[in-house]
């Protein structure tokens, strides 16, 4: 079974110390950024990680990338434990896990040409040292990312490209290493709606052509749409619902998922409907609410929710949710 | 105002160096400084050829030649030894510049290294290096230099090293803070994600971005080094064999030039020092302005009444817009054939052309289009807050029986906020961090209504906060204690502070999470019901528009593509741009549909296509589209479409 998974995350925790430890501050204050996350990803699968800001989805991705050290739990990548990999192992793993960042305006160095940006990963890993081979790989990555013909872009600078083109450059610089897993952290949220579709379609093509697995992090389920196979909804560092896209969209179980789905705008004024608008914002992850983490904002919370913290329960083979009301 | 900057950006130069030179050329201060320096460096380098006499030889000097006044033979007179002051000045330039440049090189190298290493690695390394820097900073430079030079043999090399080794502290501090700023940028994180090591990141990502500040700093350090050298020489601690300007001053001062009335012996080397330091300072300041675009002035230019340069309806023949009976409620704002041009160095960019629309009381209008389609420009033109290069070329904005395009600035200032107010894009990040939120709202009120009864001002602040759903107890909190959603609510409260009839909301929810976005939308919707507000909602998100707007104006390339009520736009759109935009929008209610994006990008406003603006990207374009700009056709039910297809009966 283990062979099937490209990534297995078990009981992953990432806590940050709140404030600087010092004489006058309490040493036991922690930000529970990621708290007991369990996740399996099959080869070639796309999973959407959804939640509001502060739910820990970005910390989770940085921890998976090894840019943050996990506090507890294990991360298995292609069957191998990479939770506490040495810097040397980490460098090797990075050839196979790559990341696409949210802000294409900030994530490109303004002083580098596109060619330098896309070939940089090859330099760093000492791959394709022969200039012809290197050019070839850079060109292929650019064209696979939809920047055709690559020659038109090689000698340009990021500021000469539009937002969508820049995001393609970011994707190309991740693809040039031929990764097996791509972590996309809000890759379209800074882009115009008209351009979002092309980036999503590009990722969908890549998955089909290269069998890349994708973790797509977003705060807006609407943008992922049916591109993802599965969806995991996070709230305050924990997965509260996980299932196939169809199941979660058609039959959401957790009240938080229901609310998130209800506020996705539907582009049809005839379908205006009652939205479940949660008041307030995600509470601060230092002082977690007792009981279910969601109960202070939950529209259907009952007395019992203040007392016990529900674990994920199976609704079907592929669908689980963490809510006390499920039992009934 | 990112949109407008994009629109205004001139043809981009092919390399940053060329672009740098182009901006540099325009900075008069930097050019003057550079010319001043080039002159002096030229003199120093070619002193052998230029100097009329050799300052080291005593050939042909008679005993009476001391302090000769300027003459044809000695333009600037002679000094205490009868030597030509002009020649000494030229050779002195050499020594002064050599000391300046080499000492500065040492300072910059040490300071740059310390700054980058401390800023990049942080922690103990930073603590150690920066405390050492602080220590060096509190030791008074000049006495220390005097002591060191006095103890060692005062030769040129020693002087260079002493000045260089003591002058790096400010550089280290400046470079460190710049490194910290660059280090936190996303592309550094991306480089890490690629697997790059520290030194790779420093060389490829930190250094290139620290370089500009280092260059500017280097120039100022050079001038400081030249000053230090002059001071030392003047104090008699210079290398007696190398005649620098300071040395000349020292000799002249010590050997009776003052009492002899030989002003030239003092003025000429003094002039040299002033000239170089002034040149370097000008160049440094100029470079800083060129390299740091944030220092460039970007201001909105209120108060430019309409210029009416174009006859109404020259190109996209304007349809006479009758106020349509879309709504029963009274008409508030009637915009007719409004056009806005940006004039940049004589080049006219037509940012908005002949746009018309009507807004009724309580109406919520969506203004939709991709970035760079002129949405923000149109809104700024309504408020007459265009950037300096923008002007209303023609058209009218009727509001309350007056044409806003014709008002004087005083009249317009009175209407802004009280009649029409705006929630700027991203403004929630512009709250003053050191003042409480309540204070800032109070200021907004009293600024626009100077004679507001002070007794009730406090009540009004609380009332406004409660109106936007913020409890009164948060009044005395600072912006950093507010979340993004709450800050946006504060911006809405400010926009409402003078009871406007119309509120323009420019992308008010773009940077917010979906749930917070829904809260803000709900708030705006409630407000317009409660207060009878008319709202213009500028966005590129069609979903939001469908959820709450009554009418929709779709803009493309500065012109109206389609304008109709919301149901028509979503269920019977006629303009291919509207249709394509809708196809690009994800709709979870239709799982089987594949998203399609519109290939290409909106046209740049300085290179608009000759025919229909959308023709190059339009899937249904035919021959006529690339030649002729379509008219804005009015269909039966107040549905406006600018497309040739409509003419042919679809």
| Domain CATH code at residue A6 | 3.40.50.300
Please give the domain boundaries of chain B with CATH numbers for all domains. Answer: 31-51+85-294 (1.10.3720.10), 331-419+498-647 (3.40.50.300)
Q: Do A277 and B518 make contact, defined as CB atoms within 8 angstroms?
A: yes
Q: Does B483 touch chain A (CB under 8 A)?
A: yes
Q: Count of A–B CB contacts within 8 Å?
A: 187
Q: Do A193 and B566 make contact, defined as CB atoms within 8 angstroms?
A: no
Q: Do A268 and B587 make contact, defined as CB atoms within 8 angstroms?
A: yes
A168 domain residue, yes or no: no
Phi, psi of B271 (to 5 degrees): -60, -40
Q: Does A157 touch chain B (CB under 8 A)?
A: yes
d(CA B579, CA A223): 19
A254 domain residue, yes or no: yes
Q: Do B370 and A170 make contact, defined as CB atoms within 8 angstroms?
A: no
DSSP-derived 3-state class of residue A42: strand
* pTM of the predicted model as reported, rounded to 2 decimal places: 0.79
Q: Which of B187, B204, B518 sits opposite A107 (nearest CB)?
A: B187
Would you state the pLDDT for residue A115?
Answer: 92
Q: Do B514 and A103 make contact, defined as CB atoms within 8 angstroms?
A: no
Asked whether the predicted pLDDT for residue B4 surpasses 50, the reply is no
Percent helix / strand / coil, chain B, rounded to 5: 55, 15, 35
Pull the structure tokens for residue A243: 């299932």
Asked whether the predicted pLDDT for residue B312 surpasses 50, the reply is no
Q: Does A126 touch chain B (CB under 8 A)?
A: no
A154 domain residue, yes or no: no
Q: Which of A121, A219, A266 sits opposite B194 (nearest CB)?
A: A121
Listing DSSP states for A65-108 in one string gives HTSS--SEEEEEETTEE-TT--HHHHHHHHTTEEEE-S-TTTSS
Q: Do B587 and A94 make contact, defined as CB atoms within 8 angstroms?
A: no
Q: Do B194 and A269 make contact, defined as CB atoms within 8 angstroms?
A: no
Q: Do B547 and A278 make contact, defined as CB atoms within 8 angstroms?
A: no
| Residues B202 and B179: beta-carbon distance below 8 Å | no
Q: Do A266 and B570 make contact, defined as CB atoms within 8 angstroms?
A: no
A25 domain residue, yes or no: yes
d(CA A295, CA B89): 83
Determine the average pLDDT of the residues in B95-120: 92
Candidates B5, B515, B568, B577, partner chain A, best to mutate (most A CBs within 10 A):
B515
A76 domain residue, yes or no: yes
Determine the average pLDDT of the residues in B511-534: 87
Determine the average pLDDT of the residues in B545-563: 91
Q: What is the count of structural domains for chain A?
A: 1
| Residues B54 and B47: beta-carbon distance below 8 Å | no
Q: Does A69 touch chain B (CB under 8 A)?
A: no
Pull the structure tokens for residue B552: 């929709």
* Minimum CA–CA partner of B211 in chain A: A111
A145 domain residue, yes or no: no
* Minimum CA–CA partner of A259 in chain B: B515
Would you state the pLDDT for residue B306?
Answer: 52
Q: Do B595 and A201 make contact, defined as CB atoms within 8 angstroms?
A: yes
CA distance A263 to chain B (A): 6
Q: Which of B12, B190, B543 sits opposite A267 (nearest CB)?
A: B543
Q: Does B585 touch chain A (CB under 8 A)?
A: yes
H or E element in which residue B528 lies: helix B514-531
Determine the Cα angle at B552 with ends B550 and B556, to 5°.
Answer: 170
CA distance B525 to chain A (A): 13
Which letter does DSSP use for residue B202 in this model? Answer: I
Q: Do B567 and A270 make contact, defined as CB atoms within 8 angstroms?
A: yes
Q: Do A99 and B190 make contact, defined as CB atoms within 8 angstroms?
A: yes
Determine the average pLDDT of the residues in A313-317: 90
Listing DSSP states for B291-344 in one string gives H-GGGS---B---------S-TTSSS-----PPP-S-SSPEEEEEEEEEEEEEE
Q: Which of A112, A194, A246 sits opposite B597 (nearest CB)?
A: A194
Return the percentage of chain A with pLDDT > 70, whole number: 95
CA distance A131 to chain B (A): 19
Would you state the pLDDT for residue B307?
Answer: 54
Q: Do B194 and A98 make contact, defined as CB atoms within 8 angstroms?
A: yes
Asked whether the predicted pLDDT for residue A239 surpasses 90, the reply is yes
pLDDT band at B302 (very low <50, low <70, confident <90, very high): very low
> Which stretch of A8-17, A173-182, A218-227 has the lowest confidence by average pLDDT?
A218-227
d(CA B216, CA B37): 15
Would you state the pLDDT for residue A24?
Answer: 56
Q: Do B546 and A101 make contact, defined as CB atoms within 8 angstroms?
A: no
pLDDT band at B299 (very low <50, low <70, confident <90, very high): very low
Asked whether the predicted pLDDT for residue B305 surpasses 70, the reply is no
Pull the structure tokens for residue B168: 């790096």
Q: Which of B208, B516, B587 sits opposite A266 (nearest CB)?
A: B587
Identify the residue whose tokens are 């909106």.
Answer: B602
Q: Do B196 and A124 make contact, defined as CB atoms within 8 angstroms?
A: yes
E strand map for B459-550: 502-506, 534-539
Would you state the pLDDT for residue B110?
Answer: 94
Helices (H), B139-244: 141-151, 156-166, 169-183, 186-194, 198-201, 207-234
* A153: chain B residues, CB-CB within 8 Å: none
In this predicted model, which residue has the larger pLDDT, B152 or B320? B152
d(CA B354, CA B315): 9
Determine the average pLDDT of the residues in A26-35: 77
pLDDT band at A327 (very low <50, low <70, confident <90, very high): low
d(CA A198, CA B600): 11
pLDDT band at B591 (very low <50, low <70, confident <90, very high): low
Q: Does A64 touch chain B (CB under 8 A)?
A: no
Determine the average pLDDT of the residues in B226-248: 85
d(CA B650, CA B644): 9
Determine the Cα angle at B281 with ends B280 and B284, to 5°.
Answer: 85
Q: Does A187 touch chain B (CB under 8 A)?
A: no
In this predicted model, which residue has the larger pLDDT, B38 or B426? B38
Q: Do B540 and A192 make contact, defined as CB atoms within 8 angstroms?
A: yes
A16 domain residue, yes or no: yes
pLDDT digits (tens, 9 = 90+) for A87-127: 888 888 988 999 998 888 888 988 889 999 999 999 999 88
DSSP-derived 3-state class of residue B563: strand
Determine the Cα angle at A97 with ends A93 and A100, to 5°.
Answer: 145
**What average pLDDT does the structure give for chain B?**
83
d(CA B464, CA B470): 9
Q: Do A263 and B596 make contact, defined as CB atoms within 8 angstroms?
A: no
pLDDT band at A3 (very low <50, low <70, confident <90, very high): low
**Could you tell me which residues come within 8 angstroms of residue A66 by beta carbon, excluding any fewer than 6 positions away?**
A82, A85, A90, A93, A94
* A194: chain B residues, CB-CB within 8 Å: 370, 540, 580-581, 584, 597-598
Q: Does A291 touch chain B (CB under 8 A)?
A: no
A141 domain residue, yes or no: no
* Minimum CA–CA partner of A218 in chain B: B513
List all residues of chain A from 93 to 112 with a beta carbon under 8 Å from chain B.
94-95, 98-99, 101-103, 106-112
> Which stretch of A159-163, A292-296, B107-111, B579-583 has the lowest confidence by average pLDDT?
A159-163
Determine the average pLDDT of the residues in B64-73: 74
Q: Which of A109, A225, A265 sits opposite B547 (nearest CB)?
A: A265
Determine the average pLDDT of the residues in B109-126: 92
Asked whether the predicted pLDDT for residue B117 surpasses 80, the reply is yes
Q: Which domain holds residue A247?
A: 2-96+179-327
Asked whether the predicted pLDDT for residue B551 surpasses 90, the reply is yes
Q: Do B515 and A259 make contact, defined as CB atoms within 8 angstroms?
A: yes
Q: Does B300 touch chain A (CB under 8 A)?
A: no
Candidates A188, A268, A279, partner chain B, best to mutate (most B CBs within 10 A):
A268
pLDDT band at B102 (very low <50, low <70, confident <90, very high): very high
| Residues B621 and A222: beta-carbon distance below 8 Å | no
Residues in a beta bridge with A46: A214
pLDDT digits (tens, 9 = 90+) for B465-513: 988 888 888 888 888 888 888 888 899 998 888 889 999 998 888 778 8
* B200: chain A residues, CB-CB within 8 Å: 123-124
Sort B536 into a burial class: Cβ within 10 Å, 0-12 / 13-18 / 19+: buried
Would you state the pLDDT for residue B291?
Answer: 73
Q: Which of A91, A260, A281 sits opposite B514 (nearest CB)?
A: A260
Q: Which of B192, B194, B584 sits opposite A193 (nearest CB)?
A: B584
* Minimum CA–CA partner of B604 in chain A: A162
Q: Does A120 touch chain B (CB under 8 A)?
A: yes
E strand map for chain A: 5-17, 30-42, 46-50, 72-77, 80-81, 97-100, 181-185, 213-218, 230-235, 238-244, 313-316, 319-321
pLDDT digits (tens, 9 = 90+) for B374-397: 888 899 899 888 888 888 888 999
For A221-239, b/e burial (b = at least 16 CB within 10 A) is: bbbbbbbbbbbbbbbbbbb
Q: Do B543 and A101 make contact, defined as CB atoms within 8 angstroms?
A: no
Determine the average pLDDT of the residues in B345-355: 85
């Amino acid at each position: 079974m283990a062979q099937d998974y490209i990534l297995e995350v078990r009981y992953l925790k990432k806590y940050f110390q709140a404030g600087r430890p010092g004489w006058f501050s309490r040493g036991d204050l922690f930000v529970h950024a990621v708290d007991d996350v369990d996740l399996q990803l099959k080869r070639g699968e796309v999973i959407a990680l959804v939640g509001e800001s502060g739910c820990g989805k970005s910390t989770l991705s940085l921890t998976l990338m090894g840019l943050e050290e996990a506090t507890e739990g294990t991360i298995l990548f292609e069957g191998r434990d990479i939770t506490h990999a040495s810097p040397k192992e980490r460098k090797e793993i990075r050839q196979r896990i790559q990341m696409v960042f949210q802000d294409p305006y900030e994530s490109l160095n303004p002083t580098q040409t596109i060619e330098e940006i896309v070939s940089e990963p090859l330099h760093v890993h000492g791959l394709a040292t022969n200039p012809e081979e290197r050019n070839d790989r850079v060109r292929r990555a650019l064209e696979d990312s939809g920047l055709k013909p690559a020659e038109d872009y090689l000698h340009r600078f990021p500021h000469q490209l539009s937002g969508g083109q820049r995001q393609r450059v970011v994707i190309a610089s991740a693809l040039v290493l031929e990764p097996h897993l791509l972590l996309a952290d809000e890759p379209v949220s800074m882009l115009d709606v008209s351009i979002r579709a092309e980036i999503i379609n590009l990722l969908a093509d890549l998955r089909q052509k290269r069998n890349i697995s994708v973790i797509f992090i977003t705060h807006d389920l609407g943008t992922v749409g049916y591109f993802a196979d599965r969806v995991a909804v996070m709230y305050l560092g924990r997965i509260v619902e996980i299932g196939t896209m169809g199941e979660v969209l058609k039959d959401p179980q957790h009240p938080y998922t229901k609310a998130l789905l209800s506020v996705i705008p539907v582009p049809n004024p005839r379908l205006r409907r009652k939205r479940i608008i949660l008041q307030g914002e995600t509470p601060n992850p230092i002082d977690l609410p007792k009981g279910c983490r969601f109960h202070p904002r939950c529209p259907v919370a009952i007395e019992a929710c203040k007392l016990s913290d529900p674990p994920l329960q199976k609704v079907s083979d592929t669908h689980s949710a963490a809510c006390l009301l499920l039992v009934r | 105002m990112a949109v407008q900057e994009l629109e205004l950006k001139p043809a981009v130069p092919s390399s940053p160096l060329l672009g740098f030179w182009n901006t540099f050329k325009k900075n008069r201060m930097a050019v003057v400084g550079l010319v001043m320096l080039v002159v002096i460096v030229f003199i120093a380098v070619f002193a052998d050829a230029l100097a009329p006499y050799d300052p080291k030889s005593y050939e042909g000097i008679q005993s009476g030649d001391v302090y000769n006044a300027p003459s044809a033979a000695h333009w600037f007179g002679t000094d205490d030894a009868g030597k030509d002051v002009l020649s000494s000045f030229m050779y002195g330039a050499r020594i002064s510049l050599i000391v300046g440049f080499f000492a500065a090189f040492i300072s910059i190298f040490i300071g740059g290294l310390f700054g980058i290493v401390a800023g990049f690695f942080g922690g103990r390394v930073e603590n150690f290096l920066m405390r050492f820097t602080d220590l060096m900073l509190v030791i008074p430079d000049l006495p220390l230099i005097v002591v060191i030079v006095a103890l060692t043999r005062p030769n040129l090399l020693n002087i260079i090293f002493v000045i260089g080794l003591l002058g790096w502290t400010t550089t280290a501090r400046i470079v460190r803070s710049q490194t910290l700023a660059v280090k936190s940028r996303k592309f550094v994180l991306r480089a890490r994600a690629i697997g790059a090591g520290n030194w790779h990141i420093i060389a490829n990502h930190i250094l290139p971005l620290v370089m500009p500040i280092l260059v500017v700093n280097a120039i100022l350090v050079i001038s400081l080094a030249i000053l230090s050298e002059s001071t030392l020489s003047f104090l008699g601690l210079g290398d007696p064999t190398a005649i620098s300007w300071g040395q000349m001053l020292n000799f002249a001062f010590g050997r009776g030039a003052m009492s002899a009335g030989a002003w030239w012996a003092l003025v000429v080397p003094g002039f040299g020092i002033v000239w170089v330091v002034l040149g370097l300072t000008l160049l440094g300041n100029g470079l800083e302005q060129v390299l740091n675009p944030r220092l460039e002035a970007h201001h909105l230019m209120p108060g430019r009444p309409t210029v009416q340069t174009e006859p109404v309806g020259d190109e996209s023949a304007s349809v006479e817009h009758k106020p349509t009976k879309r709504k029963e409620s009274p008409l508030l704002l009637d915009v007719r054939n409004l056009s806005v041009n940006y004039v940049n160095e004589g080049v006219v960019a037509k940012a908005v052309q002949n746009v018309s629309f009507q807004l009724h009381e309580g109406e919520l209008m969506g203004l939709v289009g991709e970035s760079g389609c002129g949405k923000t420009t149109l809104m700024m033109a309504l408020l007459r807050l265009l950037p300096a290069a923008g002007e209303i070329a023609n058209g009218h904005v009727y509001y309350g029986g007056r044409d806003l395009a014709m008002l004087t600035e005083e009249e317009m200032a009175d209407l802004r906020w009280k009649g029409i107010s705006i929630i700027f894009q991203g403004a929630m990040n512009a709250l003053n961090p050191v003042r409480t939120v309540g204070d800032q709202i109070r200021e907004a009120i009293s600024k626009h209504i100077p004679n507001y009864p002070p007794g009730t001002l406090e009540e009004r602040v609380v009332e406004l906060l409660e109106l936007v759903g913020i409890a009164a107890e948060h009044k005395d909190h600072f912006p950093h204690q507010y979340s993004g959603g709450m800050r946006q609510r504060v911006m809405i409260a400010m926009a409402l502070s003078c009871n406007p009839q119309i509120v323009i909301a420019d992308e008010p929810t773009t940077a917010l999470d979906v749930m917070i976005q829904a809260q803000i939308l709900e708030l705006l919707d409630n407000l317009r019901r409660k207060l009878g507000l008319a709202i213009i909602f500028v966005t590129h998100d069609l979903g939001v528009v469908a959820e709450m707007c009554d009418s929709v104006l779709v803009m493309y390339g500065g012109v109206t593509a389609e304008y109709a009520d919301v149901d028509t736009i979503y269920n019977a759109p006629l303009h291919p741009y509207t249709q394509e935009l809708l196809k690009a929008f994800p709709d979870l209610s239709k799982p089987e549909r594949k998203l399609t994006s519109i290939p290409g990008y909106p046209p740049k406003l300085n290179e608009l296509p000759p025919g229909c603006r959308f023709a190059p990207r339009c899937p249904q374009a035919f021959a006529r589209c690339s030649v002729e700009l379509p008219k804005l056709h009015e269909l039966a039910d107040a549905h406006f479409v600018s497309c040739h297809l409509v003419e042919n009966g679809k």
